[in-house]
Chain A
């Protein structure tokens, strides 16, 4: 499942930083949610990089954590987005 590398957010999912967290709007419900700091960063990377591997690479540059931990965190976050139908 995570081998599918290309990532694109659903066009009805919009978000902005309200430091240190973020606000996410799901236009389909519609609802406004709060996303935490790491969730916000992953959303930004998905939007800007567009691939799972690029998101992982960028986070490895930014955080001093073992690669497998970062990979697992990213995959868990992507699973959550998929479950909410937030990736198109």
Chain B
């Protein structure tokens, strides 16, 4: 029912349901395919502005707040923000590389924020493959150790992976690894260009055959790959809506705010909707044409793709935002 009723209603009524906050582009890892533009300039939002944002979002009945980055824990006021979000009753997701989530930090995360999900990236089933992506030796072993610690504390870890030419031989092993440690794993993709337009991450796209393999594995492990960054917020009750008219949640399910207060319809549709230094989120949400335009794009895409098997950059997925960045339109027809 959540899928069939609520997701459609939030889109049709123009309600805001979730927001993703990129707190910083700083990171303690150095992934080859990282899409963040670390040279991006602007005035970062301060804690008071975030508090105002949370007040407004709570008044707008927003359910989900996701902290991401860069590495969100490197934002100097991360715990202050997490507590403020928690006090206002949001279901909080944290997308982190997990490198710093241990010891006192992990404990504070549980006690002060109690997130719905701590989602971390897995780049391979071995330290060699994972660390090749992060370019930080020991990051794989540390991730596994930190996950155990999180589980002991009652945190809810999750894993997400992007298939690449480097890990495509380990897809099944990654599923097995995730199963052995009792953590859900989902795949997303495809690898996209950096936000500054740099196309070099595309060099490590996996082969089309690996995507087919992933689909088979997904059936076996009951996980389907998601178009980039789009997945259900958590496990859902209810069935998929056969009458659904949208392709994805662009402009309704989870809008994006960058560290400098710029608001966008979603991760890959970086159409400027306004800036929180100038206007409150409610005004931006109600006035900007970017959100209805994104919802329209999602519906148009559904109309064009519903009966097809779209592929994008070799993947059996289709993100209209990536297509607009010039990355592989539908080549199914």
Contacts and interface: CB of A to CB of B under 8 A. Distances in A.
Interface of A: 11-12, 14-19, 21, 23, 25, 27, 29-34
B43 interface: no
A18 B17 contact: yes
B91 A27 contact: yes
A33 B2 contact: yes
Contact of A32 (B89, B90, B237): B237
B2 A21 contact: no
Which 7 residue pairs across A and B have the least CB separation, nearest first? Answer: A30-B234, A16-B63, A25-B91, A16-B61, A34-B1, A32-B2, A27-B116
A17 to B, nearest CB: 5
Contact of B6 (A15, A18, A29): A18
Contacts of B10: 18
A34 B9 CA distance: 12
Nearest to A34: B1
Contacts of B90: 14
A52 to B, nearest CB: 21
A31 B6 contact: no
Interface of B: 1-2, 5-6, 9-10, 13, 15, 17, 61-63, 89-91, 114, 116-117, 156, 233-238
Max count, chain B CB within 10 A of own CB: residue among A15, A23, A33:
A23
Contacts of B237: 31-34
Given A27-B116, A34-B1, A14 B91 contact: yes
Given A27-B156, A31-B236, A18 B117 contact: no
B6 A11 contact: no
A31 to B, nearest CB: 6
A81 B221 CA distance: 33
Max count, chain A CB within 10 A of own CB: residue among B61, B63, B236, B238:
B63
Given A11-B114, A30-B234, A31-B236, A18 B156 contact: no
A38 to B, nearest CB: 16
A23 B117 contact: no
Given A12-B114, A21-B5, A23-B2, A32 B236 contact: yes
Contacts of B235: 29-32
A14 B89 CA distance: 6
A23 B63 contact: yes
B63 A34 contact: no
Contacts of A29: 235
Contacts of A27: 91, 114, 116, 156
Contacts of B62: 16
A30 B9 CA distance: 22
Given A31-B237, A32-B2, 16 more contacts: A12-B114, A14-B89, A16-B61, A18-B9, A18-B17, A21-B6, A25-B91, A25-B116, A29-B235, A30-B156, A30-B234, A30-B235, A32-B233, A34-B2, A34-B5, A34-B238
